[in-house]
């Protein structure tokens, strides 16, 4: 059994699609997989949330959402504005541990970035990951500005003793610009390891069978896929004069 936490360098970087990719590949290899969304914001009761998208893409039904708030804000702010109780971090940890007792893999998707608050006391996804002793997979944007956000996320993890599972580019375009191609090597330098994957842009709109193929090709072997970081780096090497 293991727990993998998925966070992002920002909101909208592709966390949900990467979470679905990890879950889909693991399930296709015969593992029992549960997916957890600790806090869903920006969705009213009955409206589809991130776990629904993950379930559709990965073909999973073992999906768990611990809290939901209607406003598209941080979980702490959304709870405060709605007048509802915030995420109970201790109960969330206990629930994830209970799931992990009977599943090979539990994938936990955060909300926003690593240090976004769940409550007014300042509890964050980093605290949950540290308490669970879980590795954290960082999902990053490919474009200009991503290096600073990624460096800050990895530095915060190191400061808290959180083990990184790697960095995945959440949405890699068909025609990357110069900054994106240059960022590949720098992201690997920041992570002190090869990229853990790059998911093609638009993967979230694919049918499940097509998505599984994209997930496998977009995730590194450590995550169950076939992504070759060296080949990816070489193919997009900016010194090759492709402008």
SS3 112: strand
Q: Is 15 a catalytic residue?
A: no
SS (H, E, C) 26-85: HHHCCCCEEEEECCEECCCCCCCCHHHHHHHHHCCCCEEECCEECCCCCHHHHHHHHCCC
Helices 50-58 and 208-218: angle between axes, nearest 10 degrees: 90
The catalytic residue among 5, 9, 34, 37 is 37
Q: Is residue 139 a contact partner of residue 196, using CB atoms and an 8 Å limit?
A: no
Please tell me the distance from the alpha carbon of residue 95 to that of residue 54, in angstroms, as a whole number.
19
What the block records as the tokens of 25 is 């590949």
- Which residues are known catalytic residues? 37
């Amino acid at each position: 059994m293991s727990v993998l936490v998925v966070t992002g360098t920002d909101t909208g970087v592709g966390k949900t699609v990467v979470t679905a990719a990890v879950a889909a590949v693991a399930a296709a290899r015969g593992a029992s997989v549960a997916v957890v969304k600790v806090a869903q914001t920006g969705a009213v009761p009955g409206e589809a949330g991130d776990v629904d998208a993950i379930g559709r893409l990965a073909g999973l039904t073992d999906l768990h959402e611990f809290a939901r708030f209607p406003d598209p804000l941080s979980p702490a702010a959304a709870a405060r504005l709605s007048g509802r109780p915030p995420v109970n971090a201790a109960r969330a940890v206990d629930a994830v541990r209970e799931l992990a007792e009977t599943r090979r893999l539990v994938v936990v998707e955060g909300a926003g970035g690593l240090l976004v608050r769940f409550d007014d006391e300042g509890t964050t996804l980093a605290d949950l990951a540290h308490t669970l002793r879980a590795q954290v997979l960082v999902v990053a944007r490919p474009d200009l500005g991503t290096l600073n956000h990624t460096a800050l996320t990895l530095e915060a993890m190191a400061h808290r003793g959180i083990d990184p599972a790697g960095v995945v580019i959440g949405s890699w375009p068909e025609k990357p610009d110069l900054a994106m191609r240059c960022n590949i090597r720098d992201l690997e330098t920041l992570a002190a390891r090869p990229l853990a994957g790059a998911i093609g842009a638009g993967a979230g709109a694919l049918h499940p069978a097509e998505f599984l193929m994209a997930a496998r090709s977009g995730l590194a072997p450590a995550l169950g896929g076939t992504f070759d970081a060296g080949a990816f780096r070489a193919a997009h090497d900016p010194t090759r004069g492709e402008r």
